[in-house]
Amino acid sequence: VDSTRADLEFVRRAYEGAVEAGAQEVAVVDTLGIATPEAAAFLVNEVVERAVRWVAQSAPAHFALASDLPPGLRCSGSSGQLQQVVMNLVQNACDALAGRQDPSLTVTGGVDADTATLRFADNGPGISKAALSKIFEPFYTTRKEGSGLGLYIARQLCEANQAELTV
């Protein structure tokens, strides 16, 4: 009984330490902040192509990537931050589709009411309803090896550029 109590106390302290460490990591990420970029016009097509090409280098050879963007799609903001967002979304698709025989991702875009829009659609299992409300929270992940920071940071980057990231 004494060893069980000691084990339970150890587990309780470890859990409390993990919760405290997680809260500290969130505070660090929040205090680092994401600088509001100086807005500059850029071609979205070039940024998406560069980001997709970068991530595709480590994707399985049979991973099908397609994009359907109107020529000359432009927006204003930080092209580097948009590239980071796109890289994260493409990498998430690669990870979610690992093990599928026919993994594919399509990036489409357009302009709607003077707003450039990008859509990412893959043929994976989708996001569960339970995960949808948490998907942008820091340290929330559905993968064993995930940090849970990718979508959180991607959303922060979008907000810094007066953009929106939704599921």
Q: Which residues contact 133 (CB under 8 A, 6 or more apart)?
A: none
Cβ pair 74, 108 in contact under 8 A: no
The distance of Cα 166 from the centroid of its chain, to the nearest Å, equals: 11
Edge-to-edge strand list for the sheet holding 115-122: 64-68, 104-112, 115-122
* Cα dist from 127 to 14, 21, 63, 91, 167, whole Å: 30, 27, 20, 15, 9
Indicate whether this model's pTM tops 0.75.
yes
What is the Cα–Cα distance from 63 to 57, expressed in whole angstroms? 10
- Predicted local confidence at residue 31, as pLDDT: 47
**Tens digit of each residue's pLDDT, the chain (167 residues):** 677 777 777 777 777 666 665 655 555 555 456 666 678 999 999 999 999 888 888 877 788 889 999 999 999 999 999 999 999 999 999 888 888 889 999 999 999 888 899 999 999 888 899 899 999 999 988 888 888 889 999 999 999 998 999 98
